[in-house]
Structure 1
Amino acid sequence: MRQRIVRYVSSLVRWLSTMKYLNRWIVLVLDLSLSLLSAIVSYLLVLAFLQIQFNRGELYRFVCFALGAGLLIQLVFKLYRGIIRHASIQEASRLLAALFCKELILLIAILLYSGFSSQWLAIVLLDLLISFFLVISVRALLVSIYFTLVGGNLNGNRLLFIYGTDNHSIALINWVRSGALHPYVAVGLLSTDMSQSGLRIGGLPVFAISTPDSFRKLLTHVRLQTVMFPDYATVQHERNRFVEVCLQSNIELLVAPPVELLDNPEKAREHMREIKIEDLLGREQISINMDEISSVLKEEVILVTGAAGSIGSEICRLLASIRVKQLILFDNAETPMHDLRLEIQDRYPMQSFVPIIGDVRIKSRLEFVFTKYVPTVVFHAAAYKHVPLMEEYPCEAIRTNVDGTRKLADMSVLHSVKRFIMISTDKAVNPTNVMGASKRIAEMYVQSLSFKIDEARGKTQFITT
């Protein structure tokens, strides 16, 4: 029996938490029931206070008048059509006006039936006060129960934090709570004002963050899936503090619609947008003409060095997507190469490719690749790129980034490669560290081959990007 009751209550809670709003007829019956209760309590309290003998027939007539007046006001003001969880101060004032009209109709009906008396005036005034208290209290209770149920039923929903504590942010809380942004659920506010830490605004806790480190610390304690910024200007302002941390942590970023559109759910949803990494470039995104790239490279045998690295693997994916003649993957990292091999086999089964374990610093290994597979285009992405490590091991930076590039470029010239594309770095511009300096030397060597006009250069076109 106990388990049956628990299951029944659990199913009831799940049903209530998924309801968009109460049925309008339920709201009508609820309001009329409150009107009935208020009329009975008011009548009994006044009679007890004035020590007047109870008259059952008189109470029945008064209750009938109260229910009739309440039903008439409900039909005129259509209070039962309002969605309770969207109730505001304006809705409360509308309820008060409707109840005042109800009491006025009730008073007129009593005067016409039994004449004026101070007793009935006191009952009607008390009924107004009790009715208003009951209606507001029950609505507040229903709203509280609804958000408690929704807050406790987060399965399948996305937890949303709103940036800022101004009026726009507070309006966004109500907008999200209305269900217009399903499946997002507002669970907190983010503020850079440390004095607001621990406060609650609109029923939501405020988390104060002042630096990227404090934000990262918050992420270790709070389950944060989505952050909504009130406008794009705020996104740009916080680009170097919090936005980059969110993007690094795979947190979804949204820009809220203008506050004047929140009353129109469809338009508001249309004007809301997700922030992408390209939004932070400070310039127009460069579009890639894939048709042109495909026409140039599709019939080529392409060698990619550093194929298993972050940049090299993306180049391989791009080349495999356009299905080049043959793709040669060259890297000295065994496990990443194995993973890349499985990925290309799975995602691009029609692409012909050869994974090769090797090192650009070993001339004999490069000679083997060029002799056996005869690549016509080379993408050189193999390099040591981490600045702190290269400061500790400068010789390795020179051996790989400089000598490895030299050997690969010379081999490309020797075997008449059509194009040699070297992937460089912004740190090679006025370098201030070993890694940047090694890449700059490599650039200079490649450029020297590009400008050298003699038989040794052959037909290789050198490109640095």
Structure 2
Amino acid sequence: MSQIEQPLRTGASLGFHAVPLYAAIALGRLLSGPDCMRDLPALQRGEVYAYLRRRLIGRVKAVSKSRNLFLDDLMMSALAVLLATMVRLGLDGQVAGPESFRFLLFTVPGFVLVCAAIFPLSPLYSRNWRHASVADLFGIVRVVCVASLVFVFCIFVARLFSVPRSVMVIQALILAPLMIALRLRPQYRAMLHLAPPLLTTPEEQGDKLPVLLIGTGDAADLYLCALQRDPTARYWPVGILDNGTAPEGFYLRGVPVLGSIGDFEAVVRDLDYRGARPRHLILTEGASGFAESGFEELINCADRLGMAISRPAPVLELRNPKSESRFELRPIELTDLLERPQAALDRDALRRMIECRRVLVTGAGGSIGSELSLQLAALGPSELVAIDHCEYNIYAIDLELGEKFPNLARKAYLCDVRDAARLLEIFDRHRPELVFHAAALKHVPMVELNPCEGVLTNVLGTMNVADATRRCGAKAMVQISTDKAVNATSIMGATKRLAELYCQALDLVSASAENPVRFMTVRFGNVLGSSGSLIPLFKRQLARGGPLTVTHPEMTRFFMTIREAVELTLQASAYGLEKQVGQGEIFVLDMGEPIKIIDMARRMIKLAGYVPDEDIKIDIVGCRPGEKLFEELFDDDERRVNSPVPGVLGAIPHPVPLSRLQRAFVQLRRHAKSGDLDGLVELLAQILPSYRRQSAKPPSLAMPTSAKPRGYQAAA
């Protein structure tokens, strides 16, 4: 339906005695675009008049606030007619004299009056032109065309046939660029404000720190915009390097693009010759914006040239003019080196799973549990119950939830998952519909030194949570597992494997029940920044001046950020619950490529501005009890399957009957309570034929033949 036909149909419903109203509606759609007044067909006649009156009053108020811009537009309209007349007469070869310009006596004032009537009806003065878009600029062209057509109609009505018709076409082609130029003045002035960096001498810059930017995207534009608003900022942008999208000689807010990242060393030498050698390299692009090896090469070049690498403050701080830290450069985090394309998230499915449901999280104060609690709270549950055995952890997450989600109904409990009676009391009180089980002992060497505690928490604690979930009639329980459970060589891995098998057995048994409860397990590897992980350890060692300790030069691990791991965990859970996929399966997150620990240590040293093995040493200390050189994603007795969940793989373990597991868990409890370590290990080996506990002493640095990364080959 055309822009004219729609208002005519709307007017027809009001009666053809309202012809001026039809014209007003049609004019409004022509001036503001086809989306203007979309809701008019649903309004009655009186409502339409009130609606148009409100819009007209709003437009008039906007003009009064932008009266200078309105007057400039009228001046440009008069100038456009004069220039169009000169062009028209020049094309005809006529001599510009009084006779030739006689028609201007009524053409110029007449067109200015038409513009003075038409322009206020348009949204030209209701927009913030500092952030103009292409659609806004096309709006100017639309308004100019409407004003020109209205004036041509007036000429025909007044029978002023002496006016050359081509003048109105030419003036429209001139007026639109003039009005656009008026609105781009703020951006032009901002560019002039930052234009001098390479044109001025370092002495004129005072004590400002010269910096070189990487990337010409939105983040770079926002950072330069923040700099130009505050002349007291300490940083002086001397140039930009791009990934090939912007040509050399291009300017971003007055700062020149000096080349691509491949020209990095040549650009630095040239700036050094000019006396503007950059001290900082500011990355405004993530690692995924570079070629496969481009990010590493950039770090190595900056390291050789003695330049620190940083990131600007987060976007929200840059946008906030009151933020005192908006110009503070942030050190590169190791997550930047692991950045990769994220799996697509079905957020509608996540919200359907969580919204208006009672949710319970165990281990809610831990690294994964706290991120899980925050993401769950953002999805709108009717109630969130947080459980943790650490007083400070449960206090901290409850405080953060209260600050970020003040309207969320929540409850925090100090509770150990080993205490079955306490768990049942909490479950009976709140009747959770969804249970996320993140409570576990996860530190491999520590559990190896305390195997009985590992069994009591990871095995019997999981059994307590699963049994309470089943008893209260919840819809699903989701268990967080680890790649240490695959071909386990540690107590921690063996206990998590038993927890996986118990949830699988319950899932298979519950499938035939009248009201089935899903028991899902999500397995993934190391998460960056979690408590007890290597990154906090490396940071502490760097702060002391080194050395950084690495257990083995060939040690590799799968890594993922905590946020990504939790997002994929929720997505796998949503698909499993809503679409009933993965019955009796383990969801295995796609962790990407494994990374050598020693390579991560070297990168962290470089990011800190030091030279590996020279400024900061790396010590090889040998593997700790229970550690493997290569972690795996799939066990030898598992069948790998394709999963319909994006970013998630599937594994089907050989099931163990639930009755056998329950009998074995009774014996495990007896051995753990009595401290019978030999009986405990022997029973674990009976239940898990693949479990082979390593010697208590650290192995040699020679790679064992059993360290072949079977799971990784399968996952790749």
If the length of structure 1 is used for normalisation, what is the TM-score?
0.47
Higher helix share: 1
Q: Which has the larger radius of gyration?
A: 1
